[in-house]
Structure 1
Amino acid sequence: MQEIKISIIGLGACEAAQLSDGAMSTLLGAEMILGSKRQLKVVGHLLKEHQITPLLPKLDVLETVLQQYYNQGVRSVVVLASGDPLYYGIGSWFSRNFTPEKIAFYPAVSSVQEVCHRLGLSLQNIDVLSLHGRPVGKLRSKLRDQQTLLILTDAQSTPQILANELIEAGFYEAKITVCEAIGYRYEEISSYPVKALLRNPKSFDPLHITVIDTGRSVKPLPQFPGFANHHFITDGEAGRNMITKAEVRLKVLSLLEPRAGDIIYDIGAGCGSVSIELNYWCADAKVFAIEKNQQRYDCLKQNQKKFGLVTNLHAVHGSAPGILAKLPVPNKIFIGGSDGMLPQLLERLWSQLAVGGQIVATAVLENTKHDLVAFLNTRNVRGDAKVMTQQIAISHGDTLGGQLVYRQALPVSIFNFIKRSDEPVIKLRDPQAADK
């Protein structure tokens, strides 16, 4: 498609198209106009008889369809969009798949902007979340006290479904405002206390935006790294048993330093405290939490739901290293448990890691420390790793006979291995030094 020109035109959030002079000229000059049935109807009275107006195909075949039109002689195509094509719109797909010189954008006022003006909200003071084609559970990770949240929805995220999520997250006093068919003659805006909306059977217009005023939650999620242990559902008393405790977890998080695009394994994830925090603070990293114990795996899944991490946190039920063959190759790994397979696991993972890859492991038992020290010694001999190790010993305050005492928890050893090339470094002779 060397010569085809694609223009993406936003129609605005209203019954009649809001087109700039440039957008109107481009629309009238295009050989083909692609859009939904509703969008094509909006501009139908503007088009000429010779202009072709097929329905917009699904995105997974759109590039192929455009190539077919190009082969048939089409050189100018308009794609209709709602509002601002580059704000939660189809425009981002074109930006990813075509070079800038082949595409042009003509934005109009978006439905988000229209809703903000209807309700007197400053766009910079609200949070926007799209649940269109996304799991509704994602809402949970975005909820904060005293927040205004604007939601782009679909049939799986109706106002009643959102109300149920708010109740489960403890936002009993939240208010939900539903803005239906904004810009149309039958536009309607209605507000409901969250509990009342749960009991309301009303069906809302498919073209709607939901605005949530959260109020305060009676069971808020933490808002700073180092979640208190009691926030996690475990296979014992809340915050106890198989989780990495907050003090050690914070150190592990700081060593792994998760970033967008990372693929991270949490092996022996237990009930998931490390995985949860990794993904909660870095939603664009892919985290694979691997746990073989059924009860702990069930707790991991419950924590995943509780914190709303439904996109890039993948709970994997199985044993390492066997289950790892089904997963993408990681660049960062945390090992919190290995069920006696630590030496084999370390060697296999190390061989897969690229230069710059990282393994962080914790140990309480002497046998585990022995295995990690042996691995450390091997790395030192081969010179293929930057190694750091330290031990954390925490004492918690308690009372004894009415007096303050400190009770020491078992110390935890932390090993951090960063892979580097094992090729010898050849130091070149300084030519200037040779001339002296």
Structure 2
Amino acid sequence: MPNAPWLHIVGIGEDGMDGLTPATRAVVEAADVIVGGERHHTLSVNPNAERLAWPSPFDAMISTLETLKNRRAVVLVTGDPLWFSVGARIGRSIPADQLVYHPQLSAFQLAAARMGWSLADVETLTVHGRPVEQMIAFIQPDQRLIVLTTGAETPAQIAKFLTDRGFGGSKMTVLAAMGGDREKRFDGIADSWSHDVPAFNTLAIDCVAAPDAALLPRVPGLADALFQSDGTMTKQEVRAATVAKLMPMRGALLWDIGTGCGSVAIEWMRAARYARAVGIEPRADRRALAAQNALALGAPKLEIIDGTVPAALDGLAPPDAVFIGGGLSHETFEAAWAALRPLGRLVANVVTLESEALLIELRKAHGGDLVKIQTHRADPIGKLTGWRPAMPVTQWSLIKR
């Protein structure tokens, strides 16, 4: 039967074969070939199987696995193969009817049990093999986090992130080798964290905010002062309205045309899990600011491109949303609109009369909503206080249907 399952992806814990169900243990013991890391091979028992290490580069994994189709093949992973693990990557390339997953307790479940935390009330994150700065977006008062780390140095890096943002009193616990004879636990406080911990560990954080802590909600509308900027940026209130119209969604891609200091792209990425963004900006100084802001605010995967539109759009993956904050023209709109995926959202903000006239023309041809946004801030006028208006912003938004 050509599509019969031939590849078993087995989650294994620190207790090795003893922690497997009888059926899963039988699969491992009967395998012709076992693929995994050194640690996985040490934990499993099958003296007759051929042992393969993870290929290098790791991207060669799928082609390596496909050579095993006529053999009883097992891939060993840590914990649950489909929870921040390689099982999902394999499942995107090999048909589901050719795979069997054998889940084990995940590090998240074990850590929650050790901490006595309800997993439903915890944010579960991974920075394993990913930029550690990604977790910054989840630092919130009274939030509990469980983080799969990159290595022994990760808890100290995260302790610094917490301390720098006014969360130095947060409680941190590193759990290593959970479920095995070598299990260890290290407890401490972020602003005094000094433990040397094993490289393979899981970090639990109970966030505690000081009175002067930075408040960085994931809903759009971060304070302007949180961004490094040369003054040219989409301001807080307009940015909140803009990102709302762009509708961030899990895994969705934004093109931020004329990204400047990156404020809209960063808020987009913070607002939804795994949201992606490409910022196009011709000025090197502004690209540098956007890169700094992305790291500081928890969006380190922001891709920043040197170029002018519409030429810079060629070859980019089709977007789910497009923001035009600079460089608006007929050519830019037509290129972005053609590339935008069905149900994609496009938002353009302008401040000049000439650009406003163009938006009115485009709206006549394509429809959508046209609004004018103006904010006033209370500023001192001598010894008193008055309203100081900001430049009005004309915003055009529409959905591709």
2:373 alignment partner in structure 1: 392
Report the Cα distance in structure 2 between the residues aligned to 1:375 and 1:100, rounded to whole angstroms: 46
Report the Cα distance in structure 2 between the residues aligned to 1:181 and 1:353, rounded to whole angstroms: 46
Q: Secondary structure at the match of 2:18?
A: coil
2:167 alignment partner in structure 1: 171
Report the Cα distance in structure 1 between the residues aligned to 2:377 and 2:161, rounded to whole angstroms: 36
CA contact (8 A) 1:126 1:150 kept: yes
Q: CA deviation at 1:136?
A: 0.8
Choose the corresponding residue for 1:228, options 218, 223, 227: 223
Report the Cα distance in structure 2 between the residues aligned to 1:57 and 1:286, rounded to whole angstroms: 28
Amino acid paired to 1:346: F
Compared CA separation, residues 334 and 87, structure 1 to 2 (3 A): closer
1:66 has 2:65 as partner: yes
C-alpha RMSD of matched pairs (Å): 2.8
1:345 alignment partner in structure 2: 332
Q: CA deviation at 1:134?
A: 0.4
Report the Cα distance in structure 2 between the residues aligned to 1:66 and 1:351, rounded to whole angstroms: 38
Structure 2: gaps (5+ residues) = none
Report the Cα distance in structure 2 between the residues aligned to 1:99 and 1:355, rounded to whole angstroms: 26
Compared CA separation, residues 113 and 371, structure 1 to 2 (3 A): closer
1:414 alignment partner in structure 2: 395
Compared CA separation, residues 133 and 145, structure 1 to 2 (3 A): same
1:290 alignment partner in structure 2: 280
Structure 1: gaps (5+ residues) = 236-240, 380-384, 421-436
CA contact (8 A) 1:391 1:413 kept: yes
TM-score computed with the length of structure 1 as normaliser: 0.81
Q: CA deviation at 1:137?
A: 1.0
1:175-206 CA deviation, whole Å, 9 max, x = no partner? 32222222333332121222322xx3x54222
Q: CA deviation at 1:352?
A: 4.5
Q: CA deviation at 1:154?
A: 2.1
Q: CA deviation at 1:106?
A: 2.2
2:51 alignment partner in structure 1: 53
1:142 has 2:138 as partner: yes
Compared CA separation, residues 298 and 81, structure 1 to 2 (3 A): closer
Compared CA separation, residues 32 and 100, structure 1 to 2 (3 A): same
1:264-319 CA deviation, whole Å, 9 max, x = no partner? 222222222222222211343332222233333332222212211012x2223333
Report the Cα distance in structure 2 between the residues aligned to 1:344 and 1:396, rounded to whole angstroms: 36
1:7 alignment partner in structure 2: 8
CA contact (8 A) 1:136 1:157 kept: no
TM-score computed with the length of structure 2 as normaliser: 0.87
Report the Cα distance in structure 2 between the residues aligned to 1:162 and 1:80, rounded to whole angstroms: 29
Q: Secondary structure at the match of 2:188?
A: strand
Q: Secondary structure at the match of 2:92?
A: helix
Q: Secondary structure at the match of 2:7?
A: strand
CA contact (8 A) 1:15 1:42 kept: yes
Q: CA deviation at 1:332?
A: 2.9
Amino acid paired to 2:33: M
Which range moved further: 137-146 or 182-191? 182-191
Which range moved further: 360-369 or 117-126? 117-126
Compared CA separation, residues 63 and 231, structure 1 to 2 (3 A): closer
CA contact (8 A) 1:17 1:42 kept: no
Compared CA separation, residues 354 and 308, structure 1 to 2 (3 A): closer
Choose the corresponding residue for 2:123, options 109, 127, 152: 127
Compared CA separation, residues 286 and 56, structure 1 to 2 (3 A): closer
1:320 alignment partner in structure 2: 309
1:365 alignment partner in structure 2: 352
Report the Cα distance in structure 1 between the residues aligned to 2:161 and 2:207, rounded to whole angstroms: 12
Query: Matched residue pairs, number?
Result: 397
Q: CA deviation at 1:130?
A: 0.9
Report the Cα distance in structure 1 between the residues aligned to 2:189 and 2:202, rounded to whole angstroms: 16
Compared CA separation, residues 399 and 28, structure 1 to 2 (3 A): closer
1:425 alignment partner in structure 2: none
Report the Cα distance in structure 2 between the residues aligned to 1:407 and 1:266, rounded to whole angstroms: 29
Compared CA separation, residues 178 and 343, structure 1 to 2 (3 A): same
2:113 alignment partner in structure 1: 117
Q: Secondary structure at the match of 1:17?
A: helix
Report the Cα distance in structure 2 between the residues aligned to 1:355 and 1:33, rounded to whole angstroms: 43
Choose the corresponding residue for 1:281, options 271, 286, 294: 271
Q: Percent identity?
A: 28
1:81 has 2:77 as partner: yes
1:185-236 CA deviation, whole Å, 9 max, x = no partner? 3332121222322xx3x5422222222222115223135332233332222x
Compared CA separation, residues 23 and 278, structure 1 to 2 (3 A): same
Compared CA separation, residues 282 and 409, structure 1 to 2 (3 A): same
1:423 alignment partner in structure 2: none
1:327-386 CA deviation, whole Å, 9 max, x = no partner? 334353222222xx6344334444555665553222222122233334445x2xxxxx22
Which range moved further: 291-300 or 360-369? 291-300
Report the Cα distance in structure 2 between the residues aligned to 1:90 and 1:274, rounded to whole angstroms: 32
1:187 alignment partner in structure 2: 183
Which range moved further: 267-276 or 319-328? 319-328
Amino acid paired to 1:228: A
Amino acid paired to 1:317: D
Larger Rg: 1
